[in-house]
Amino acid sequence: MDSAWFWLVIIILGVVGLVILVSYLNRPKCPKCGKRDSLSTSRKTVKSERISIKKEETIKHYSKDQTAAGRPIAVMPESVSKRTYTVPGIRTYYDVKYTCRACGESFTRREYTDNEM
């Protein structure tokens, strides 16, 4: 039992470490000093365009045997299928201005967000 707890703690620490690493690597890198320690100072909308956003839906299929109350007898579905479809959306581009905390350099990075219509 002690061995199971040890491995559970190791797995949880690994997942937390991976999440921290990914969030750190997504931060903008200063072109002058190369550090990832910068603050967003301004954000300006550049353009918007229409896009198609891909969505996936999971459909659970139950057996035809039902109780008098109309609920399926089996808790688990007999099969599961996935359906992929697209919905209209808007992609908005921004020019985000950052200032590096380490060296004071200002730089701009283009970012975007996707929203469903």
User: Quick one: average pLDDT of 71-89?
Assistant: 79
Q: Are the beta carbons of 92 and 117 closer than 8 angstroms?
A: no
| 98-114 tens-digit pLDDT | 999 989 899 999 999 99
The predicted pLDDT at position 79 comes to 79
Asked whether residue 80 is domain-assigned, the answer is no
Tell me whether residue 79 is in a domain: no
pLDDT value at residue 70: 59
* Alpha carbons 99 and 54: distance in angstroms, whole number: 35
Q: Are 58 and 80 in contact (CB under 8 A)?
A: yes
pLDDT grade, residue 46 (50/70/90)?
very high
39 close to 99: Cβ distance less than 8 angstroms: yes
Higher pLDDT among residues 79 and 56, named by residue: 56
Any bridge partners for residue 96, and if so which? 43, 109
Q: Does residue 67 lie within any of the structural domains?
A: no
Radius of gyration of the chain (CA): 24
Query: How does DSSP assign 12-69, residue by residue?
Result: HHHHHHHHHHHHHHTSPPPTTT--S-EEEEEEEEEEEEEEEEEEEEEEEE--S-B-TT
Structure confidence at residue 4 (pLDDT):
85
Residue 18 located in a structural domain: yes
The H-assigned helical ranges of the chain are 2-25
Q: Tell me, yes or no, if the pTM score tops 0.75.
A: no
Range of the domain at 21: 2-57+85-116
Mean pLDDT of all residues in 86-93: 95
The answer to whether residue 77 is domain-embedded is no
> Span 65-93, mean pLDDT?
76
Contact predicate 112/92, CB 8 Å: yes
Q: How far apart are CA 86 and CA 59, in angstroms?
A: 16
Is the residue at 65 inside a domain? no
- How many distinct structural domains can be found in the chain? 1
Domain-located, residue 93 = yes
Would 44 be classed as within a structural domain?
A: yes
